[in-house]
Amino acid sequence: DAKTTQPPSMDCAEGRAANLPCNHSTISGNEYVYWYRQIHSQGPQYIIHGLKNNETNEMASLIITEDRKSSTLILPHATLRDTAVYYCIVRADNYGQNFVFGPGTRLSVLP
């Protein structure tokens, strides 16, 4: 079972920041937070991951609370192409361990 809780859906205006929350209150000390997204009829796309520090890359920023029980994925300037299902996944650093997908958040970027 997924170890995360996400809202089922969110809307965001084009050009505005999209803030996607994720609750992972049972996260363990050796577990990372990963974010992927899936655009319709495609495989999941890696976005970002982190352990406890905030992270930023060319796609997004990841803000992890100090207690690590929740995090927020931020898309700074959402575009229509960011419409997708976003998955927050908690996973230990184990090479053979798979990624368990929950239902995710369906983000709709509106013109």
Partner 1 sequence: GAVVSQHPSRVICKSGTSVKIECRSLDFQATTMFWYRQFPKQSLMLMATSNEGSKATYEQGVEKDKFLINHASLTLSTLTVTSAHPEDSSFYICSARGQGPYVAFFGQGTRLTVV
Residues that bind partner 1 (CB under 8 A): 32, 34, 36, 41-46, 49, 87, 93, 95-96, 98-104
Short-list 54, 55, 57, 53, CA closest to 45? 57
Q: Please report how close the Cβ of residue 44 comes to partner 1 at its closest, in angstroms.
A: 5
CB of 16 to partner 1, least distance (A): 26
Residue 4 CB, nearest approach to partner 1 (Å): 12
CB-wise, 8 or 111, nearer to partner 1? 8
Strands (E), the chain: 9-13, 18-23, 31-38, 45-50, 55-56, 61-64, 70-75, 84-92, 105-110
Provide Rg for the chain, Cα atoms: 13
CB of 17 or CB of 51, closer to partner 1: 51
